[in-house]
Amino acid sequence: MTTATPGRAWPNVLISGTDPVVTLRPIRRSDARAWRTARRRNAAWLAPWDATVPPGGEARPTTFGALVRRLNRAARRGTTYPFVIEVDGRFAGQVSINNIVRGSAQFASVGYWIDQQFAGRGVMPRAVAMAIDHCFFTARLHRVEVCIRPENTNSLRVVEKLGIREIGYAPRFLHIDGDWRDHRIFAVTKEDAPRGLLARLTEAGGGRVGPAVRGALPPVPVGGLGALAGGRVASAAADSSRYVDEPAPPTAYPPWEAATDLHTLMNLRRPPPPTHSSHQSHKSFRDTPLDLRPILR
């Protein structure tokens, strides 16, 4: 793995592989259109696993621009690193390091999601390994945690591929799909992977990033998205590893990484553009408030 600025925790760009090239870079406001397109195309695949806001939860940003500004503020404070995943320069999803705790803990949690059209190519395990290695060797964190619902067998395969050990079980841990759900807790420390997870993944033969598997499912319709759920400060990446590594039947769903705080954005329908104008500026696309009518509800 190479980095654009060696030694810098954030902002930075991480690159791995050659066919295709997997890149992690900071999220930016200009990602609005690609992000919305990917989320809407994959809605049915992602929505049943999305984190939801419990009763009395705090308000969420209502525009993509506001969301990115909020994430950037958190990144400047050093509490989150919100990466976008690119595959050969194309927007493919997100992986975020969340709830970064310094002091005596040196801890973080990780979560992610990927566009279905890139599934089955080993992209997500590689991206997660890149992010965790960045935590250990550049951000100087000591421990990273992943929380997975027991029903999510595909996510369990991801932590298995990365060799991340299970350390506990948390009943009614995070608010997912409208209710409090149990989670299995996995964690890795720097001592567990002294040469990093990317090297471990490659040596185990799980680092393949090749052509898409034939028979992958077609795109799916518009739908909702999860948001930052509550939870202990050291582990609020709600059901963070929901990822399907192989093409899956319509009843199997990949992840949403809850900590990017996007529930409001994708559960709301954008109003049509004004009839007096043939186009909108990039700024208005990102910052126009969203209508409050749920999609597919």
E strand map for the chain: 2-3, 14-16, 22-26, 81-87, 90-101, 107-114, 143-148, 165-176, 179-189
Q: Is the pLDDT of residue 44 over 70?
A: yes
Q: Per-residue pLDDT for 118 more than 90?
A: yes
**Residue 133 forms part of a structural domain:** yes
What are the angstrom distances between the C-alpha of 12 and each of 92, 106, 231?
Answer: 18, 19, 28
**Residues of the chain with pLDDT > 90: what percent?**
49
pLDDT tens profile 222-232: 222 322 233 33
HEC string of 183-209 equals: EEEEEEECCCCCCCHHHHHHHCCCCCC
Question: Residue 260: which domain range?
Answer: 2-287
Q: What's the confidence (pLDDT) of residue 52?
A: 84
Check which CATH number belongs to the domain holding 181 and give it: 3.40.630.30
Is the entire prediction scored with pTM above 0.85?
no
More confident: 297 or 152 = 152
What is the number of structural domains in the chain? 1
Residue 190 lies in a domain: yes
Q: Is residue 154, in this structure, part of any structural domain at all? A: yes
Residues sharing a CB contact under 8 Å with residue 217, sequence separation 6 or more, in sequence order: 45, 116, 247, 248, 249, 250
**Per-residue pLDDT tens digits for 61-90:** 778 999 999 999 999 999 999 999 999 999
Task: Answer yes or no: is 85 within a domain.
Answer: yes
